[in-house]
Amino acid sequence: MFGSEDFFTYGRWVGFATLGLAGLAIIAFLFKWGFRFRLVGITGFFGVLTAGLFSLGLVPFQHTIVPGAGKYTLVYDTGASQTVIAVAPQISQSELEATLRQAASDLFSPGRMGRGQQQMTIRARTILHPEPGVSEPLVLGQVERSLFVREDPNLQVTLYTDNLARLPQPENS
């Protein structure tokens, strides 16, 4: 994964290329070359590329890995304060808690709109099949975190133990 220093390096090299193209465009205008206007377009494109890479270098990329977290799939996201993830029906209680913490870290974005709310709620659910042809969604837990603070010290994980008890138990061989 690229880090901030990588984007600064790439931005610097693309910036040098932009300056070189700008110089070449000036020379093309002085000598009235036929492709001078194309060089202006290419120089503008490289300028936008330079600005984008530079701005990506300013943004800190943080990916926290929570030990013990399982895989999840994002099922529903309002882009604001409500999110639902799907987990496997064979998940354990400790793995569910770690997965909820991982999702809370992964799904944080300073661009989420709270619409008057201060907290983001992420619910974890799975699908049970009590009989053939019947599917039952089952909410296993939720985590509430701040919409505005990346490292939220008041993270609240709630596990629904009644629903966890309904999950299929692994068979001992």
In 3D, which of 125, 126, 162, 166 has the Cα closest to residue 143? 125
User: What are the tokens at 32?
Assistant: 């009235």
Model confidence pLDDT, tens digit, residues 132-166? 999 999 999 999 999 888 888 899 999 999 999 99
> For 12-60, what is each residue's pLDDT tens digit?
999 999 999 999 999 999 999 999 999 999 999 999 999 999 988 887 6
pTM: 0.68
Of all residues in the chain, what percent are helix, strand and coil, respectively (each to 5)?
Answer: 40, 25, 35
What are the tens digits of pLDDT across the range 88-122? 999 999 999 999 999 999 998 877 876 778 899 99
- Residues 151 and 149: their CA atoms lie apart, in Å, by 6
Q: What are the structural domain ranges in the chain?
A: 4-58, 73-165
Distance CA 120, CA 149 (A): 11
